Structure 1
Amino acid sequence: MTRLITRKLMPLLMVAYVISFIDRTNIGLAKTHLEADMGISAAAFGLGAGLFFLAYSLCEVPSNLLMHRFGARFWITRIMVTWGLLSAGMAFVQGETSFYVMRVLLGIAEAGFFPGVMLYLTYWFTRRQRAAAMGTFLAAVPIANIIGAPLSGAILGLDGVAGLQGWQWMFLLEGMPAVVLAVVVWKLLPDGPRDAPWLSEEQAGRLEAHLEAEQEAGAAESGTHSFAGVFRDKFLLMTIAIYFCHQIAVYSLTYFLPTIIESWGEMDSFTVGLITALPWVASAAGALLLPRHATNAARSRTILVGGLAAMTAGLLIAAVAPAVVAILGFCLTAACFFVVQPIMFAVPSTRLSGATLAGGIALMNTIGILGGFVGPYVMGLLEEATGSAVSGLWFVAALVAVGALLGLRFPTRDPEFHDSVAEVGRPAAEAG
């Protein structure tokens, strides 16, 4: 059954996330064009880029609670339509004010997609299967990073076609696929197992009973039964703190890796792009190969702590080594990005249920997004203060090391529950 569910759901969700990530990050390639054509200053550009994350983070929790109320099919479709239209609408900004407004609206529109999918996966995969499923989904991020820049660069070459600038074509052509795919999501994405035409009534009932038993056992053991209780749950708060450190590393490399590579010597943009892609290839491999082994609490802790320790080592290697060895350090770090992330996102579903689970997952991603602001900001400050593009890596490595130490406090025992269908995940091949 697990293979069948993965085959039916994951390709659609991954394609949607690839489009989402490209729409979120293509603004970087438009920077110089917006400055030249619209008079948007570097400071205004930086503010607009940050406003997206601010609006995004503020709307995460409400969005997930609304998805829990209205259903995944409707809410994910709504998110994709609005973000696609607004992303395409970026082609028509006229200056700094409209740029700010569009970035805020885009952040509001896209908020909830990622935590919504994390919540949605808890409707389908048991605790033993969840880290592997989330790791597979997260492989969409490196895929987006590998194909996004070349795609956007090619579209920028349409400058002047039909009287539009290249950056306008980029926003239009990369925004509209989300709207088109939203139609597919509306037609094919079931709200839950009971709505899936490719599962029998018996399979759906067995799966839902097992998942409900797991959540009830976890919530009973943690004692967290309300969203306010999340802020008193020390284990959840520790997990959120680890995720904050993790996201600082992810976004620091996302935004500063090309600059660091350029500091190694004279090379053209294409070469920089190729080298930049290498760590993301490693991260895709890690996401697809390792999270599947996090099948219980003891293994999850081992993989989490080991992954964070490897990330720390890779960052330190990159900070001190010559270029060839440094890129291997970056590859080691990136290979663990989406190995440890699904383990952290699997935690809320072992301690929360219902609307509390929806809010808890969204809160976790909200704090993580703030890490996405802190990391690049501090990296920039340290580079400016020291004149070295790699100086900020020491700061990032220190925080990831703190995350690894916190990870040592993860439990090694799963919550116990008694359920007649406890082995629902075992017959994975019966329908697949």
Structure 2
Amino acid sequence: MRSRTSLDSDMTVNVDATSGRSLEPIFRRIGWRVIPILVLLYVIAFLDRVNVGFASLTMNRDLGISDSAYGLAAGVFFAGYLLFSVPSNLTLARLGAGRWIGAIMVVWGVVSSMQAFVHSATSYTIARFLIGAAEAGFFPGIILYISMWLPRSRRTSVMGFFTVSIPLASIIGAPISTRLMELAGLYGLRGWQWLFLLEGLPAVLLGLAVPRLLASGPEDVLWLAPREKVALLSAIYREDNQGQDTGKRSGGLLTQTLRLAALPSATYFLLMSGLYTLSFWIPRILQNFELSFREIGWTTSLIFAVGGTALIVWSLYANRSSRPQYHLAAAFALAGVGFALAATRTTFLAEAGLAMAASGVLAGMPIFWGSVRSGSGSERAVVIATINAIGNIGGLLGPYLIGLFVAKTHHFSLALTVTAAGMMVGMFTCVFRRDSSLEQLQETSKED
């Protein structure tokens, strides 16, 4: 069987031989055979990443962790994530998705469960760093993996269905997490210890199964004929290199990475600050309105259900748009208004605002990733990992700043107002972004 590298050498031959319509049966098979597995894996990943929000309802008091220390520990996950994201993605490109993603899941599942035995703010912060390091290659690896299966013009809608893993993790995980918190006292363990122990196990079990579930790429599956594989990889190569003169690149991989990743990294930074403000702090925000554990769980689930619905509908519409940057700007604006409403001290307005913020942030993710121009081969792996790693610094600073503001003011109003302002800045980065290569690509797709 031919490798992806050898197939790449043929991409310049007859790349227009197959129209987008003739590839539709291939896209449908990919949608049914590949995407559901990725959704399941990311549901588990995101649940392990953000279940600290529910653990914090009692863990902070039990261990004497302040709001600022909690925000730092929750966000330091992304310090490990930043350091190991690029090398992890390059390793995936060399070893294949199945083996590497499976290994990542086993390691982070074990470390996530071990959080049950932290005994201080320091040990908790170290555990969060280790989970970030272990999980560093997972999401950028999945983005890279999707880019191996689909051309850019198809990725926004598919990323919408994949990104639904994020609200789905909270829709399912929030009620489960709060129920696990009610196991406090069973066998002498606190509720948050049961939460960490039990929610880390699915990652370990699925990680062991992943090498059998994921092929390394289209060239390694039996359910695509050889001609279908060449047609698919030709379409991917053509779109990923649209508008680029591959014979005249200068400055090497570093220059190309900086050129392709600079502005998207800044936009993604702001988007992630909003996402993880929601993910790490929603339980505490709702607790501020004196809700019970179960009420917090079901309200969180409802907020993310609204956001997940917006994600799916909006990404399908944006996929047909010739100017996705304006859809992304609108998503930022909606999130900004939502965070501003959440800063009020009225329960209904705050909950409605959180639902609006979740809708904007979640809808923005597939629109963003579907429009990222990332080149091909090793360049693609590095660009995607760089955007993800630098952008996710927002996941470190956002929760940490929330903790600092809450520690100073003893309320979330100022913290959420600042977050709302950050979303508006994100809106302007999209409005003034000029991505002629993307528009040119989409015009080409329409002609097909």
When normalised by structure 2's length, the TM-score is 0.83
Task: Give 1:384 deviation, angstroms.
Answer: 4.1
1:134 aligns with 2:176: no
1:198 counterpart SS class: coil
1:69 aligns with 2:94: yes
Contact 1:244 1:371 in 2 (8 A): yes
Q: In structure 1, how many angstroms separate the alpha carbons of the residues matched to 2:296 and 2:191?
A: 22
Which whole-Å deviations, capped at 9, do the CAs of 1:107-158 have from their partners, x for residues lacking one?
Answer: 2211110111011110111222101111111111111112223212333444
Matching residue within 376, 383, 390 for 1:360: 383
Q: Which residue of 2 aligns with 1:331?
A: 355
1:391 counterpart SS class: helix
Q: Which residue of 2 aligns with 1:228?
A: 254
1:151 counterpart SS class: helix
1:344 aligns with 2:368: yes
Contact 1:224 1:352 in 2 (8 A): no
Shift of the 135–390 alpha-carbon distance from structure 1 to 2, 3 Å rule, reads same
Q: In structure 2, how many angstroms separate the alpha carbons of the residues matched to 1:94 and 1:389?
A: 27
Shift of the 177–259 alpha-carbon distance from structure 1 to 2, 3 Å rule, reads closer
Q: Which residue of 2 aligns with 1:179?
A: 204
Q: Which residue of 2 aligns with 1:401?
A: 424
Q: In structure 2, how many angstroms separate the alpha carbons of the residues matched to 1:276 and 1:333?
A: 13
Q: Which residue of 1 aligns with 2:134?
A: 109
Contact 1:128 1:294 in 2 (8 A): no
Q: Which residue of 1 aligns with 2:331?
A: 307
The count of aligned residue pairs is 418
Question: Structure 2 counterpart of 1:174, which letter?
Answer: E
Shift of the 41–176 alpha-carbon distance from structure 1 to 2, 3 Å rule, reads same
Q: In structure 2, how many angstroms separate the alpha carbons of the residues matched to 1:392 and 1:224?
A: 44
Contact 2:74 2:396 in 1 (8 A): no
Q: Which residue of 1 aligns with 2:227?
A: 202
Matching residue within 28, 35, 43 for 1:3: 28
Question: Structure 2 counterpart of 1:75, which letter?
Answer: W
Q: In structure 2, how many angstroms separate the alpha carbons of the residues matched to 1:50 and 1:340?
A: 21
1:275 aligns with 2:275: no
Shift of the 75–407 alpha-carbon distance from structure 1 to 2, 3 Å rule, reads same
Question: Structure 1 counterpart of 2:209, which letter?
Answer: V
Q: In structure 2, how many angstroms separate the alpha carbons of the residues matched to 1:320 and 1:219?
A: 49
Stretches of structure 2 that go unaligned for 5 or more consecutive residues are: 1-25
Q: In structure 2, how many angstroms separate the alpha carbons of the residues matched to 1:81 and 1:425?
A: 45
Q: Which residue of 1 aligns with 2:11?
A: none
Shift of the 226–65 alpha-carbon distance from structure 1 to 2, 3 Å rule, reads farther
Which whole-Å deviations, capped at 9, do the CAs of 1:309-357 have from their partners, x for residues lacking one?
Answer: 2222333343458433443333222112222212222344x34221111
Shift of the 415–318 alpha-carbon distance from structure 1 to 2, 3 Å rule, reads closer
Question: Structure 1 counterpart of 2:168, which letter?
Answer: I
Q: In structure 2, how many angstroms separate the alpha carbons of the residues matched to 1:48 and 1:17?
A: 22
Q: In structure 1, how many angstroms separate the alpha carbons of the residues matched to 2:134 and 2:64?
A: 23
Which stretch of structure 1 is more off in the superposition, 1-10 or 309-318?
309-318
Task: Give 1:254 deviation, angstroms.
Answer: 2.3
Which stretch of structure 1 is more off in the superposition, 179-188 or 308-317?
308-317
Task: Give 1:425 deviation, angstroms.
Answer: 12
Task: Give 1:284 deviation, angstroms.
Answer: 0.7
Contact 2:328 2:430 in 1 (8 A): yes
Q: Which residue of 1 aligns with 2:169?
A: 144
Q: In structure 2, how many angstroms separate the alpha carbons of the residues matched to 1:48 and 1:380?
A: 10
Contact 1:297 1:411 in 2 (8 A): no
Shift of the 162–321 alpha-carbon distance from structure 1 to 2, 3 Å rule, reads closer
Task: Give 1:290 deviation, angstroms.
Answer: 1.7
Which stretch of structure 1 is more off in the superposition, 352-361 or 371-380?
371-380
Contact 1:55 1:104 in 2 (8 A): yes
| RMSD of equivalent CA atoms | 3.1
Which whole-Å deviations, capped at 9, do the CAs of 1:384-419 have from their partners, x for residues lacking one?
Answer: 4445422222222222112111112232553758xx
Question: Structure 2 counterpart of 1:292, which letter?
Answer: L
Q: In structure 1, how many angstroms separate the alpha carbons of the residues matched to 2:447 and 2:215?
A: 20
Shift of the 341–202 alpha-carbon distance from structure 1 to 2, 3 Å rule, reads same
Question: Structure 1 counterpart of 2:295, which letter?
Answer: T
Q: Which residue of 2 aligns with 1:153?
A: 178
Shift of the 161–225 alpha-carbon distance from structure 1 to 2, 3 Å rule, reads farther
Q: Which residue of 2 aligns with 1:251?
A: 276
Which whole-Å deviations, capped at 9, do the CAs of 1:242-270 have from their partners, x for residues lacking one?
Answer: 1111111112222333343344x443332
Contact 1:225 1:356 in 2 (8 A): no
Question: Structure 2 counterpart of 1:133, which letter?
Answer: V
Question: Structure 2 counterpart of 1:58, which letter?
Answer: L
Contact 1:92 1:168 in 2 (8 A): yes
Shift of the 391–120 alpha-carbon distance from structure 1 to 2, 3 Å rule, reads same
Contact 1:206 1:424 in 2 (8 A): no
Q: Which residue of 2 aligns with 1:60?
A: 85
Q: Which residue of 2 aligns with 1:390?
A: 413
Contact 1:236 1:347 in 2 (8 A): no
Contact 2:276 2:399 in 1 (8 A): yes
Question: Structure 1 counterpart of 2:327, which letter?
Answer: I
Q: In structure 2, how many angstroms separate the alpha carbons of the residues matched to 1:217 and 1:110?
A: 32
Which stretch of structure 1 is more off in the superposition, 335-344 or 128-137?
335-344
Matching residue within 87, 95, 103 for 2:112: 87
Task: Give 1:281 deviation, angstroms.
Answer: 1.0
Task: Give 1:67 deviation, angstroms.
Answer: 0.9
Q: Which residue of 1 aligns with 2:402?
A: 379
Q: In structure 1, how many angstroms separate the alpha carbons of the residues matched to 2:447 and 2:88?
A: 30
